[in-house]
Amino acid sequence: MFRSFGRVERAVLVAAAALLGPHPADALAQGGAQAETRRHAEWTAQWVAHPDAPPTAAGLFHFRRSFDLAAPPEHFVVRVSADNRYRLLVNGRSVASGPARGDVAHWRYETLDLAPWLRAGRNVIAASVWNWGEHRPAAQASHRTGFLLQGEGAAAAVSTGAGWRVLWNRGYGFAPVVGPDANGYYVASPGEVIDGRVMPWGWEQPGFDDSGWIAVRPVVLRADAAKGALPRGGHSYGEASEWQLVPRELPAMEETPVRFARVARSEGVAPDDRFLRGKGDLVVPANRRVSILLDQGHLTTAYPVVVASGGEGASMTLTYAEALFDAQGRKGNRNEIAGKTIRGVRDRILFDGGAQRRYQPLWFRTWRYVQLDVETGAAPLRLHDVHGIFTAYPFAQHAAFASDQPWITPIWDIDWRIFRLSAFETFWDTPYYEQFQYVGDTRIMSLISLYSDGDDRLMRNALIQIDQSRIPEGITASRYPSALPQYIPPFSLWWVAMVHDYWMHRDDPAFVRRFLPGVRGVLGWYEGFVDETGMLGPMPWWNVLDWASAYDRGVPPGAENGHSTPLTLQYAYALQRAAEIEEALGQPAEAARYRVRAEGLIAAVVARAWDARRGLFADTPDKSLFSQQTNSLAVLVGAVPDGEQAAVMERVLADPSLVQASYYFRFYVDEALVRAGLGGRYLERLAPWREMIRLGLTTTPENPEPTRSDSHAWSAHPNYHLLASVLGVRPASPGFRTVRIAPALGPLRRVHGIVPHPAGPIELRLRRSGGRLRGEVILPPGLSGRFEQDGQSVALRPGRQQVDLGAP
């Protein structure tokens, strides 16, 4: 936003992990800050706001608290939160942003040690707090504008209340994204208008004169809460009004400067490479209109930064796009720009003529291309720098996959990129258009996170938040957090599968146990819709199975009128997984009940939807439509006997008359291939991803062309299957206490892979010659298992070992 908004210092964040527990990757501060994570301290600070601003009005508010220190402190611990969002600065340095996204009943606060940024003498703690108002993203919950900072120990004197001052920044506004710029369904953040002529430049610095600012006003005014904020459950009479405070469970988001790859084209001015590198100025003469199209080289999520001097009366519009469009509205090859124009989210800057002004939006943008349209007045504008600050959840790639087929590597790369861009304080479907944590997308992304990085914290966060979204009837919301409730009951079943995924991959039964009431609620809700046929009858809400063109709004036939085969099978799929968890956690009776229910559903499907002539299951008992989706689910639940599964899946792959699975649902088709023993055919299934590369895509899209979104991580599952199906590394027992490695290399002759495991990396180096598979397997300490190939099996032990299986 302003010149002070630089890189977030991740090391200051103390993730007070009362809900999720400590994680070895947390960069916790020491001393008093670390102690904060072990106790639930009292809150004496007040939530504060601008006294004249309507509670939910859109606006940007600056808060300041100046104070003096005799000497730099060893620790200076504070807890901080705001509604909607904040960025905290100490002596002009940006040190944190938040709060981590949740709902009002689970409102996050961050715990920080500010000591590294304090000094002897005058200091200032400052915060930009904004409320998007009527323009706020649909995923953003809100109660009202407010800011809260609680100081601990020596820092108690800076707690919000007396001594804090506030300014409503009238130079900042929001612009909705509408019409062609929205390109369909758009519910993410609005564009921003930054008027440098009204900005309180230098407001975050200790020497700034804030005498014209006004005193803050407390906003929590109940008689027993007027003295301070409330932690969740902290009200003396159990009331749950205002924000119910819970500690942040996640690390700070990464913020790393990035530069554009090239100037794709320009009109009215000729930028050089020095400008792109931040090593030279670009001067836009007076009374000139210029347009500069910048190419990042790949899709990214970042805060755009513009540093400029002069140019009083000039303006700049920044337009961000995943791709350019031709005259017919087609994207075509993303690398080609001739004859194409840009549309999308826009920010606008009005320059005041000052020196070294730094402009940065409050919220990040998603782009491959950024167009700068500049119009100057009587004074020239000197652009010192234009770059980005990349931001995303701080995943790091700990997995690897290499082979003798080089075409796989670009697919691996675009999958990893979109996975990173779709992970922030929650997983989300698309970083450009929606930023929703949809359950269907999140299950796939959670598995990718376990296999690519090994960091399970965002998955744990998702499991908790989706559980918190359940309504009294039992089902979860389709996406959460969300200020716009939506219910897709099949997604509740995928949440049950997510709980099972976590149970299989992490040895944490206490964490899994907390979800049993929710799992039972979801499955109990479905039980009430099984009719006299033994299948699901008419289902309420929006029963999306797959975004396939043959399905109306993603809904398979029979969902609304009754007797949908795939939805009945998906219910059985969730029951089977829940039964395994219940059995392992000491509830054999519940497990037996689930198994009986699943067997009944499967028997009804076999009796009513199996078409012996085609050797396939139909989508409904009238047998008018057949699909890859239904038959893949039939294999996954065992509705197809083991000896017949391969034949069914061969027909699923070969029959073009079947409803074809989308990029999203291909995940389940490929899971069925592996179950049927056809994992060796997986690589041929990557033809659509090869086409993505040919089209210049640098991330995986939502759908085949024409696609609204170039950024959907539900299409990134090859990075899971290359490790779990081609390398064949999967848990052999709950908690990943043992491993099963059953490679399905297909045409590959050589492969090297690394899969993260809680105990350490699993590494394979395999080569195939004739009918033999030879190589080396390295297991981390404490992990054992089996290596299987062509009906042969050998035991694996911790450490390095050779394998040699196959025909002599």
| b/e code 246-275 from CB counts within 10 Å (16+ = b) | bbbbbbbbbbeeeebeebbeeeebebeeeb
Q: What pLDDT is attached to residue 240?
A: 74
Residue 412 DSSP SS3 = helix
Going from the first residue of the chain to its last (808 residues), give the mean pLDDT of each consecutive group of 10, the final group possibly shorter. 33 34 33 37 89 97 98 97 98 97 97 97 98 97 97 95 97 96 96 97 96 94 53 63 92 98 96 90 97 98 98 98 97 97 98 97 98 98 97 98 98 98 98 98 98 98 98 97 97 98 98 98 98 98 96 97 98 98 98 98 98 98 98 98 97 98 98 98 98 98 96 98 98 98 97 98 95 96 96 97 85
Provide the sign of the torsion angle of the four alpha carbons 539, 541, 545, 550, taken in this order.
Answer: positive
User: And the tokens for 196?
Assistant: 């440098």
The CATH code of the domain at 10-172+196-249 is: 2.60.120.260
Q: What pLDDT is attached to residue 242?
A: 87
Q: What pLDDT is attached to residue 41?
A: 57
Q: What pLDDT is attached to residue 754?
A: 98
Determine the Cα–Cα distance for residues 297 and 455; give it in Å rounded to an integer: 28
Contact 697/414 with Cβ under 8 angstroms?
yes
- CATH topology match: 10-172+196-249 vs 255-392: yes
Q: What pLDDT is attached to residue 771?
A: 86
Determine the Cα–Cα distance for residues 499 and 21; give it in Å rounded to an integer: 17
User: And the tokens for 337?
Assistant: 């720009």
CATH fold of 255-392 = Jelly Rolls (2.60.120)
Query: What ranges do the domains of the chain cover?
Result: 10-172+196-249, 255-392
DSSP string, 413-438: HHHHHHHHHTBSSSB-S-TTTT---B
Contact 160/45 with Cβ under 8 angstroms?
yes
Tokens 């198994």 -> residue = 595
